[in-house]
Amino acid sequence: MVKCFLLLFVALFSYFSLFSQTVLLSGKVIDKTSQEALYGVNIIVNSADELLTNSKQLGTTTDFDGNYKLALYPGSYNVKFVYIGYEEISKTLEFEVGKPVVLNVELFQKAEIIDEIVVSAGKYEQKLSDITVSMEIIKPSAIENNNSFDMSDALNQVPGVDINDKQPSIRSSTGWSYGAGSRVIILMDDLPIMSADVADVKWNYIPVENISQVEVVKGASSVLFGSSALGGVINVRSAYPTDKPVTKISYFNGVYGSPKDDRFKWWANEFYNGLNSNTNVLLRDEVFYFVRNPMYSGVSFSHSQKFDNLDLSMGGNHFIDEGYREMDFEKRSRFNANIRYRSKKVNGLALGVNTNFMAIDMSDFFMWASDTSPYLANKTLGAIVPTQGYRMNIDPFIYYYKPNGAKYSLRTRYFRTENVMPTDTQKNSTAHSYYMEYQYQKVFAEKWNFTGGAVYAPSTVQANLFGDHYSTNLAGYAQLDVRFGRLKANVGMRGEYFLLDSIQTESAFNINMGDNSIEIPIRPVFRAGANYQAAERTFLRASFGQGYRFPSIAEKHTATSLGEVNILPNPRLIPESGWSAEIGVKQAYKLGNWRGFADLAIYNQDINDMMEFTFGVFNPTTYMTFQNTDTVEPVIGFQSQNYGDVRIRGFDLSGTIGGKLGRNILTTMVGYTFNDSFLKEGVDTTASSESPLLKYRIKHTFKGDISLESKRITFGANIIWRSAMKNVDRLFCDERDPETVDPSNYAFFQLFSGKILPGYWDYRMANAKRNYLNLDLRFGFKFSENLRASFIVKNILNREYVGRPGDMHAPRRFEILLSAQL
């Protein structure tokens, strides 16, 4: 018995001694071209040893410096290095006791455009070709080449995206809502950057000098991003340092050219009588004007650098715009910094803080004085609103990536906005937003990717304009992505709770408990999608997503006036909901040195109880539509109302191509969007014409960009064409046949329009069917690899264009840009 025990002990000791002697596999993974360390590369190890054939797959990931370590038993293994956007590398290695293996790997980045890496589609890194929704990407080079010092300028060049008076719309999801509310959520580094009071975005607050890329998701995305993502998502992602320190400095100066119609040139000498020849300025209404064309200029810098395990990137911008419209000026200063520390003791742990601050002194131009003086303000309406204030956000975060593929993150944001109106303190406001999101992500067996998270977002607002309010948003979400060969699919859901003062989310669940029932005030939304690789370069996709949007504080509670125009609150305003679906195909192609892709998407979006500002006659006490039995004097104005159920359908067609043309590099982008938006039932009697198209929407849009680059010289052109805006508010212009409408109503609209917006009625009657065409040209010269200059002409055709009523766009502009990289 003792001998048997000894024999068994020796056998077990020998067995475990053999396999307790592990061999260390280590190394570093870098980009073959840039020699930069690659973080998050998957190292997948499969054993070729018969003894371990049935053992589970082993693996790890690279740390922030591209390093990896993995202990293996002796034997033969296949080691595979997998990183999104890079070519895979596999090696078969023999491991022997006492002989550690060091394997350094250089991965080659794929050159295909469809292999671009994106995050916003599913809150994790994916190839552009693998996602199930439509997405566009803006690279920093596109922003720099066109000197887009305001992010809205860059977004206006994206197919399917329109910015009307600074309000974003994706596929006609939004018209013009007087600056309140948005169906497109704007993110900075995956966190919302919408103000707590108006739920809008200030595009000049986004630090364009420190961007890695901008991702635009089209269609309802509320499952992953919440309430305001009913129409889509715009996510601005900051740039982090690489192994080599980089400093960029740029300066530009621009001048507004003379408008085609000399009557618009308010700064001309003959326009005023009070010329002071000694100072070469004009004095009018106690405001000084230079006797020359207005100018604008800006200077920016950015610096990024690694200090051992500390990553630092920062930037700043100072901008001055004298304005092409009377008293319409802007002065701002902005500074941003991103700091990230990568732990040495705990592999995969990182923590840091991002911050951005902007101080601004500006004026908002609301409506023109007349159609013959569109660059002068209508002072009877107080149509120039001087504003001072600042915005700031502080974003602490912590990430932890485990070697087994699990990822944990906690991201937070404090966002404060303060607006001070020097001439009207009743419009002052301060808003505080707090945002906290915990997220867990795990990859299983290389096929399954689970993403789940929870959000807590309270806010407070102190404002004379719409009172003091508080809100709370709670949400939980989950999404599962799976891959079966050529098929990728996902399904997700979100539960959302919203509280504004004492009004909370309508109950969507009821639990019956005998004679009683418990209401759970949570709004659920769902999404699903699939992507199938039909051929090597052909990808088919389909997706469905629900959306839900709560009214902003401004939409529900704003009470103010501009002359005879009143903006009225609506305490009865309810949330809107909807869904969107699309089918699409992305076809990549390669013809010699020419590469690119074409993308077609056909979509439909339904929005129920859509909130839109609507003109009408109201009871000033109840804020309801005025009735003949009311005993108070009526007021005329605009109010956000549940407009009705609408449908938006259409298609996007876009494509890119790039390659060598002789010794030059040619790249082009084109996109066409067709939108048909209408009420599902009834007729909009507040619209200016009999066209069923929703107000302030564009039916046809074409956008294109071409760039030709040689060793030292670059040339480019950007074009935007839009069909005429079919409908505005009937208050501003009634284009219906006078014989088919009530003569008294027609006369009333014409009289009132003449008071609040002189000349617009006649101007629209003469130009309502005019399409819009804008052409920008740019020319650049490289003095060296680190210094270049550009000359840019915007609106070179000097075309007039009026977006929303009373807002004529700028005439031709000339810009000189100098940029250096150190």
pLDDT digits over 777-817, tens only? Answer: 999 999 998 999 999 999 999 999 998 888 899 999 999 99
What ranges in 106-172 are assigned the alpha helix state H?
140-145, 151-155
User: Which amino acid, 655?
Assistant: G
**Range in 95-104, 350-359, 452-461, 598-607 the model is least confident about:** 95-104
Determine which of 12-26, 278-292, 791-805 has the lowest per-residue pLDDT on average. Answer: 278-292
Helix (H, G, I), strand (E, B) or coil at 382: coil
Q: What is the pTM of this model?
A: 0.85
DSSP annotation of 325: S
Q: What is the mean pLDDT of residues 10-33?
A: 67
The residue that leads in pLDDT, 515 or 529, is 529
Q: What is the per-residue pLDDT for 806?
A: 86
pLDDT at residue 12, as a whole number: 47
Q: Using one digit for the tens of pLDDT, what is the confidence trace for 287-317?
A: 445 567 999 999 999 999 999 899 999 999 9
Partners of residue 520 on adjacent β-strands: 509
pLDDT at 718 (0 to 100): 95
**Mean confidence (pLDDT) of the chain:** 85
Q: What would the mean pLDDT of 83-108 be, rounded to a whole number?
A: 85
pLDDT tens track for 768-785:
788 999 999 999 999 998
Quickly count: other Cβ atoms within 10 Å of residue 487's Cβ: 12
pLDDT at residue 637 tops 70: yes
Half-sphere exposure of 720 (CA within 13 A, CB side): 22
- C-alpha closest to that of 95 among 83, 112, 111, 78: 78
Residue 273 confidence class, pLDDT cut points 50, 70, 90: very low
pLDDT of residue 280 exceeding 70? no
Average pLDDT of the residues in 620-645: 85
Res 17 pLDDT > 70? no
Q: In the prediction, which pLDDT does 362 show? A: 92
**pLDDT band at residue 364, thresholds of 50, 70 and 90?**
confident
Q: What pLDDT does residue 224 have?
A: 87
With a pLDDT cut of 90, the percent of the chain lying above it is: 44
> Rounded CA gap, 230 and 244, in Å?
40
Backbone conformation region of residue 809, classed left if phi is above 0, alpha if psi is from -120 to 50, else beta? beta
Mean pLDDT for the stretch of residues 259-287: 59
Q: Is 252 helix (H, G, I), strand (E, B) or coil?
A: strand
Span 397-406, mean pLDDT?
87
Question: pLDDT at residue 52 above 50?
Answer: no
pLDDT at site 751:
77
pLDDT of residue 479: 95
When mean pLDDT is compared over 12-16, 526-530, 534-538, the highest value belongs to 526-530
Lowest mean pLDDT among 49-53, 377-381, 636-640: 49-53
Assign residue 740 a region (left: φ > 0; alpha: ψ between -120 and 50; beta: otherwise).
Answer: alpha
Give the DSSP letter of residue 110: P
The count of residues in the chain is 822
CA distance 283 to 767: 34
Comparison of pLDDT for 699 and 77, the residue scoring more: 699
Q: Using 50, 70 and 90 to split pLDDT, how confident is the model at 517? A: low
Report the range out of 214-228, 512-526, 748-762 with the highest average pLDDT. Answer: 214-228
Least confident piece of the model among 11-20, 248-257, 572-581? 11-20
| Percentage above 70 pLDDT, the chain | 89
Segment among 423-427, 676-680, 688-692 with least mean pLDDT: 423-427
State the pLDDT at residue 18: 45
Q: Compare 686 and 51 and report the one with higher pLDDT.
A: 686
pLDDT one-digit tens code per residue, 315-325: 999 999 999 99
pLDDT digits (tens, 9 = 90+) for 186-222: 999 999 999 888 888 899 999 999 999 999 999 888 8
**Structure letter (DSSP) for residue 143:** H
Residue type, 794: K
Decide if 436 contacts 454 (C-beta within 8 A): no
pLDDT at 77: 87
3-class SS shares of the chain: helix, strand, coil, % to 5: 10, 55, 35
